[in-house]
A and B are shown apart, each in its own frame.
Chain A
Amino acid sequence: MVLARLARQREFGPSVGLIGVVLIAQLSTGHFFSSQSLTGLTTIADTVAIVAIGVTLLMISGEFDLSVGQVYAFVPIIWSTLFVVHKWDPWLALIVALGAAVLVGLVNGWVVTKFGIPSFIVTLGMYFVIQGTNNLLIGGHQLVAFDFKHPTLTAFGARIGHTPFSAGIIWLMGLTFLGWYALEKTRYGNWNFATGGGVGPAKAMGVPVARVKKANFVVCSVLAGISGCIQFAYLKGVSQAQGDKYELLAITAAVLGGTSLFGGSGTVVGSVIGAFLLASIEVGLVLMGAPGSFYITFIGVVLVLVVILNVKLGRLTTSGRR
């Protein structure tokens, strides 16, 4: 039956949740689909979702990255410091800034695989290291580029014609496709599932598990950096608070999207849907007149409920999945 096959897809649960939230928000407020709320929804969802793609790939291999939220601020801070303050060419500055993200990922991956320390601890350390560095770089200030015009800023943050959407959504579509392709269609994807499913057997079958994990840490940092640049280009500014809680929101999006906390299973599309679910809850509650940051309380409850539901339903519906 079509419905039964559909229900076995990992993306089914979060999709139902997303549709439900959107319907409730639309029916009770009547303007969920207004241009203004769609802009709000997508600008939140794009950036969380792009970070969540990297986090998902990494979680499938059985590791976490708590430093992505700080990298999300770190990369645009370096980028904009170089081209706004030091008058560098924005392209060159961008390459240097993303190079810094690669470095962060390499260090995370190297320490985790070399010393066998839980990534939770290693990336918590990295979180503090980058937070301190961000503070050193811009302190309590905001770095703005309001009057700056450059193709890089257009590419990351411009509004698309007269639509409510901006460039971030194009990036999200492209990166979702790449992430899906890598995970579902390449040998790397198979190795990634195997690494998280069982490091011992994977090694015995010749899967380079350390290399897979290192690659994931780098991808995770770079995607967080790109996402941070998208946010910067959209807002034309960055403060140290950018990316606050993003490491946790990305993990939440991944878990809502059906990614296992223990590695071995998950999907990129599911996590993107999870990110839209988070953003819809936020926008929906704001439309309903809830206090600005109350949504995080709601999300906390939803997260735990979803995991309980997954555990209860897990064994019933996992047959036929990878």
Chain B
Amino acid sequence: MTMNAAPSRKDPVFELRDVSFSYGSNEVIHQVSLGVAAGEVVGLIGDNGAGKSTLLKLFAGFQIPTQGTLAIDGMPVKFRSPAAARSLGVEAVYQDLAIIEQLSIWRNFYLGKELVKKLGPFRFLDKAAMRNGCIEALQLLGLTRIRSVDGPAWAMSGGERQSLAITRAMSLGARILLLDEPTAALSVRQTRNVLDSIQRAASAGLGVLYIDHNMDHVAPVADRVVVLDHGRIIVELTGDDINAKHLGDLVAERREELSAE
């Protein structure tokens, strides 16, 4: 992606403006401003407890900011639920919450956005259309190992689940994709597949926010990397600056500055 000179200074599709969030009296996010533009992959990294998950929940509508605003296309919005966020094109893929194992693959694929057909006053699930849509998505992903979309999702590997969830978000009309450590606990090959899915999503014009604790994971696909530390953004890197060594130095430097203040 970096090779295509992805537009890093385009207007963000989706942004947080001076957002803070507290659990009770404990403020865990401090005045964070962060936007994601169409076709851009933004890596958000930080240690455990840096506030990554909370930030993701704010983006996805699981939590409402205590201060600051969210904006889509420059217009302030308020999400009261994950469903509200989804209806505005914000799709999140969670590490543990991507898939319901007992449900068939096609039911998982369209969960919450089921296709229906009308027959007089009755509304039916359009199972044929959903099965076909799901089969097409699997073929696009090259997940040919899956023999039937009617089978339960527990037959899928971790990488397949993440790839499927990313593709699901794309084909269901998402504009912004939030990814929570999508390559955690995956083999190298599976990781490659997931990264391909992410690039495919960005090429299709989606804005991607890729959250991880490890720079090495996000570096191959990110156009911009933002480092979160104790609920603040402390470093932002673009283009050639995105590499782990450089980042380590910057983070150490910045931490010293902060502690000196």
Contacts and interface: CB of A to CB of B under 8 A. Distances in A.
Q: Do A and B bind each other?
A: yes
Interface of A: 184-187, 189-191, 193-194, 196-198, 200-208, 264-265, 318-322
Contacts of A196: 102
A185 B148 CA distance: 20
Contacts of A194: 100, 103, 107, 111
Top 5 A-B pairs, shortest CB-CB distance:
A206-B83, A205-B112, A197-B100, A206-B112, A264-B102
Chain B interface secondary structure, helix, strand, loop or mixed?
Answer: loop
23 contacts: A190-B111, A190-B114, A193-B102, A194-B107, A194-B111, A197-B101, A197-B102, A201-B94, A201-B97, A201-B100, A201-B111, A202-B100, A202-B111, A203-B97, A205-B86, A208-B83, A264-B100, A319-B155, A320-B148, A321-B104, A321-B152, A322-B104, A322-B107
B81 interface: yes
Interface in B86-142: 86-87, 92, 94, 96-104, 107, 110-114, 116, 123-125
B79 to A, nearest CB: 11
Greatest chain A CB density within 10 A among B92, B99, B101, B102 is at B102
Interface of B: 60, 62, 81-83, 86-87, 92, 94, 96-104, 107, 110-114, 116, 123-125, 148, 150-152, 155
A319 B107 CA distance: 15
Given A185-B124, A204-B94, A207-B111, A319 B102 contact: no
Contacts of A318: 152
Contacts of B86: 205-206
Contacts of B125: 184-187, 189-190
Given A191-B111, A204-B82, 6 more contacts: A186-B125, A198-B97, A201-B98, A204-B92, A205-B82, A319-B152
A265 B99 contact: no
Contact of A186 (B83, B112, B124, B152): B124
A318 B101 CA distance: 12
Contacts of B60: 204
B103 A193 contact: yes
A190 B150 contact: no
Contacts of B98: 201
Given A185-B124, A185-B125, A322 B83 contact: no
Contact of B101 (A185, A187, A198, A204): A198
Contacts of A200: 96-97
Contacts of A208: 83
B121 to A, nearest CB: 13
Contacts of B82: 203-206
A84 to B, nearest CB: 38
Nearest to A318: B152
Contacts of B111: 190-191, 194, 201-202, 205, 207
A120 to B, nearest CB: 21
A319 to B, nearest CB: 6
Contacts of A190: 107, 110-111, 114, 125
A155 B100 CA distance: 43
A190 B81 CA distance: 19
Contacts of A189: 125
A217 B76 CA distance: 38
